[in-house]
Every structure is written in structure tokens, then in C-alpha cells.
Structure 1
Amino acid sequence: MLVIGATGHVGRHVVTGLLAAGADVRALVRDPDRADLPDGVTLVRGDLTDPGALAGAATGVDGVFLLWPFFTAELAPAAVAAVAGPGVHVVYLSAMNVRDDQDPALNGFWGEVERLIEASGATWTFLRAGGFATSASRSCATTAAPPTH
């Protein structure tokens, strides 16, 4: 499985879970020396803005976890074409506001990336998530007493 976004808050958990399940994990990273990912992960230097590097990273994988970090889908056609296609299952971290029953133009760039994946010939899973409580464990441990009046 190729994980795109492996060094971020969500991607790190995806990598850890895949390793725990015994999967072969390949991570696309800009700087392998700074990736700080667990042992057992194959690091591949690349970036979503470089379709050639993406295609090389995706060679031979049957699954891709995609986190799209941009606020536009401008680069998405080339990126999706490089990693998705028949025989590949793409798990895309989309957004909860994407709806199948509304005009695609109203779904923003997340919906555009979904449409590109659907058209690629890959099988897919779209995770239409809301916010993630990345600091919840820290704030729970340091909760202050309520103010007194």
C-alpha cells in the first residue's frame, strides 16, 4: 500500500495501522531523512506535484491512501492518473461536505478529486470525514479547573 500524506497527523496512523496488520507499506515523502516513520516502511522520495515521481512510487502497488493537501484540484488530474487505475484500490480522505445528491461544482476540490478517482478505473473508498481531534489527548490531560465567579 502506498501512503500519500504519511508524515501528517492522519497518515502516520494509517501507516501504523497498516504495519500492525502486516501490510507492506510504502510512503511517499519529500525528504526521507526527515520522515521519522516506523521501521518497515519503504520510503520513496516524491511529491504530489511531480506525476513522474508519483507513478514511480505507485508502481506495483494495489492500494493507495491519498490525502489531498491542496485547496484546489488543479494538480489532481495528473496526480490521480499517476496513482490510480484498474487493479488499484484508492482510499481517499475527502470531506464530510461532499454529497452525491448535489451538483458536483458545489462539492469543491474534494468532490473533484473524488470524480477523478471514480473515472480512473480504480476501485475506491471515500472517507468523508469531519474534523480530527489531534490535540484532544493533550487537552484532556491538562484540563484546568473551571473558573470561579
Structure 2
Amino acid sequence: MPITITLTEGVLPEGQEAVAAARITEAFLAGHGLAGNAVMTPNVTSHVTVLPKGHAFAGGKPVEGAWIETKTPSFALADHEVQTAFFHEATQILLDLSKGKLSADRIWSNGVHTVDGTWNLNGKAMTNAELGEAASQG
């Protein structure tokens, strides 16, 4: 389940990108009751993209900001309370790490639910039911 974190250059101090990825991943797992789950923990992946200043826009104008996007099966981030808690925590993580460079109105997020059966773990495409069964083993 990839989490994409996109930042404009300079909104986080150098080297804090990995900290952001780790803490946001931990928040995602904890929010779903999966912290430490041997199956899901290594399969919640993330990547950070840092854009040069002038290569990100809001309202068609250059902006310095951060974006968080999740791609999950439909049963993840399905409950509004979980959505609210996770995206609030992820936003707070970036606010804290930015040391005042970011404000909440410059952090955008969204979640995308994928088509059932498109998750590939260990070389096998899995349905939501199969993925749930695998997670229950962890």
C-alpha cells in the first residue's frame, strides 16, 4: 500500500524526508490496528519526491507545500474516523518536522482506493478477501 509524499524543496530540513516517511507509515499502520503486523508492515511502502521550487502549483501559481497520497484496497481508510485521524496525524507530522516552514493550508492529502484484486504481495495478485486473510496471519 504505497504512500506518496511529495514536498517542495526546503519545506523540510535536509534528511527529514526519511523520518516523515517512517512516521507517516507508522501512523497508517497504527490507525488500522496493524502496528507490528508481520505481513502488512513490510507491504506499506512509501516514497518521497522532492520538487524544485517553482515546480509545484496551487491555483495555477507557484507554491511551496506538501502532498500526501495513499493507494489502498477499499477496506483501508474506509471509515471516516480513521481517515480523519490518519490524515490529521500525517499533516501534524509534516508540520512538526518542517519547523515552521509549512502551514496546514499548504499540506494537501487524498486517498485512492484501488480495484479489488490488484494487490500484488510476494508475486501474487490478491483480492481484498485474500489480502485480509494474509493480514490476519501477521
> TM-score by structure 2 length?
0.28
Q: Please state which structure has a larger fraction of its residues in strand.
A: 2
Is the radius of gyration larger for structure 1 or structure 2? Answer: 1
Could you say which structure has the greater relative contact order, defined with CA pairs below 8 angstroms and 6 or more residues apart? 2
Question: What's the TM-score, normalizing by structure 1?
Answer: 0.27
